[in-house]
């Protein structure tokens, strides 16, 4: 019998890729998403994935959910760092209160496992080359603070209620359906626009491809060694933003004012997760960019779209080819 996995926020970048990936691994997938951020079109295999359009805050009121669910992967959250300090109420509601509702749901249904996606931003600006899971947490914006609080709530709640959990501190995830920096640079390249870089471009980031993140989560579902653990999920390698730009294109770029709370260095020490789950990350930044650039971009050259609309067009073209 197929194991049933409930994914909150399953129509977003990570959630939709993960839903497709787990479906191909013979899991039965149920997605809850209110589509306030995600897009239903991201679920290419919609006919084979059960989709429920609801606010996850009301998860306990969704009557059509099956009685038996093997695991919950909680992705639903507000994640725009730049506006989080000005929208504390919304972020607390969606990232903290909703998490509590999900935990109550798991306890009531006696669900075996909760996987929670946290963020490398909980470390703040460390100035260190590589960050291990034991590094002190110093979130420097409200989004990171909600993830920090979420981790603490999970650890306490699951200990009291005897629930198994895994917390994944994601570094910079990229891939098809993303609208983050790698995808934006590719879009600006196709549009023959100058690329925009905040600050001097020397900021170092650890980019991990969505395929590797999908495999991490799959192994956390399978392997009990991941129970009640916190893991860094990053490639363990870094590249500066200016070097990333040069890797994608030689187009000219412009420097914009450095953003508030933009950290200088963020690189994962991933030895713990590799050892526990016997993982090897297969897609480095060079292969990852090539995967995204296999799409027939020249057909988009004359289309003047925002980066978000361009991403949707690219995804549509990719889907027709596959």
Q: What is the structure's pLDDT at 103?
A: 98
Report how many domains make up the chain: 1
Express each pLDDT in 103-129 by its tens digit: 999 999 999 999 999 999 999 988 877
Across residues 198-214, what is the average pLDDT? 94
CATH code at position 23: 3.40.50.720
Task: Give the separation between CA 40 and CA 34, rounded to whole angstroms.
Answer: 10
79 vs 115, higher pLDDT: 115
Q: What is the structure's pLDDT at 314?
A: 47
Q: What is the structure's pLDDT at 46?
A: 72
3-state secondary structure of 23: helix
Contact 308, 179 (CB under 8 A): yes
Length of the chain: 322
Q: Is 60 inside a domain boundary?
A: yes
Q: Is 87 inside a domain boundary?
A: yes
Q: Is 309 inside a domain boundary?
A: no
Q: Is 273 inside a domain boundary?
A: yes
Q: What is the structure's pLDDT at 22?
A: 97
pTM of the model: 0.89
Closest to 71 measured CA to CA, from 214, 217, 219, 221: 221
Express each pLDDT in 300-312 by its tens digit: 443 344 444 555 5
Express each pLDDT in 250-273 by its tens digit: 888 888 777 777 888 999 999 999
Q: Which of 55-59, 167-171, 190-194 has the lowest mean pLDDT?
A: 190-194
DSSP state of 96: I
Q: What is the structure's pLDDT at 84?
A: 86
Q: What is the structure's pLDDT at 122?
A: 96
Contact 3, 27 (CB under 8 A): yes
Q: Is 185 inside a domain boundary?
A: no
Across residues 160-166, what is the average pLDDT? 97
Q: Is 293 inside a domain boundary?
A: no
Q: Is 258 inside a domain boundary?
A: no
Q: Under 8 Å CB-to-CB from 183, ≥6 apart: which residues? A: 174, 292, 307, 311
- 155 is written with which tokens? 């650890």
DSSP class per residue in 153-187: HHHHHHHHHT-EEEEEEE-EEESTT--SHHHHHHH
Q: What is the structure's pLDDT at 278?
A: 96
Q: Cα 34 to chain center, whole Å?
A: 17
Across residues 72-94, what is the average pLDDT? 91
Across residues 76-96, what is the average pLDDT? 90
Closest to 38 measured CA to CA, from 8, 59, 62, 58: 8
Q: What is the structure's pLDDT at 312?
A: 56
Q: Is 106 inside a domain boundary?
A: yes
> In the predicted model, is pLDDT for residue 295 greater than 90?
no
- Domain interval for residue 211: 4-178+207-235+266-284
């Amino acid at each position: 019998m197929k194991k049933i996995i409930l994914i909150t926020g399953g129509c977003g970048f990570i959630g939709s890729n993960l839903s497709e990936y787990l479906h191909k691994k013979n899991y039965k997938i149920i997605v809850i998403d209110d589509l306030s951020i995600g897009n239903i079109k991201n679920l290419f295999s919609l006919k084979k994935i059960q989709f429920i359009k609801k606010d996850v805050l009301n998860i306990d009121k969704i009557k059509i959910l099956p009685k038996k669910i093997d695991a919950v992967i909680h992705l639903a959250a507000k994640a725009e760092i730049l506006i989080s300090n000005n929208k504390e109420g919304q972020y607390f509601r969606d990232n903290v209160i909703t998490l509590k509702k999900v935990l109550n749901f798991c306890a009531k249904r006696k669900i075996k496992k909760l996987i929670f996606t946290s963020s490398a931003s909980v470390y703040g600006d460390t100035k260190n080359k590589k960050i291990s899971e034991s590094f002190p947490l110093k979130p420097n914006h409200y989004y990171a603070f909600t993830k920090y609080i979420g981790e603490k709530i999970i650890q306490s709640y699951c200990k009291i209620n005897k629930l198994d959990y895994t917390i994944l501190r994601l570094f910079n995830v990229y891939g098809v359906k993303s609208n983050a920096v790698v995808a934006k640079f590719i879009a600006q390249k196709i549009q023959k626009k100058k690329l925009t870089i905040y600050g001097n471009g020397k900021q170092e980031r650890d980019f991990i491809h969505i395929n590797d993140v999908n495999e991490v989560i799959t192994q956390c579902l399978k392997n009990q060694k991941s129970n009640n653990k916190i893991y860094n999920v990053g490639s363990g390698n870094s590249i500066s933003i200016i070097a990333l730009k040069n890797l994608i294109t030689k187009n000219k770029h412009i420097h914009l004012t450095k953003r508030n709370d933009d950290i200088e260095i963020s690189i994962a020490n991933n030895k713990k997760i590799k050892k526990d789950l016997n993982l090897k990350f297969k897609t480095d930044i060079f292969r990852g960019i090539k995967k995204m650039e296999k799409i027939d971009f020249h057909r988009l050259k004359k289309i003047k779209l925002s980066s978000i609309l361009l991403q949707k067009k690219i995804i549509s073209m990719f889907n027709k080819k596959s």
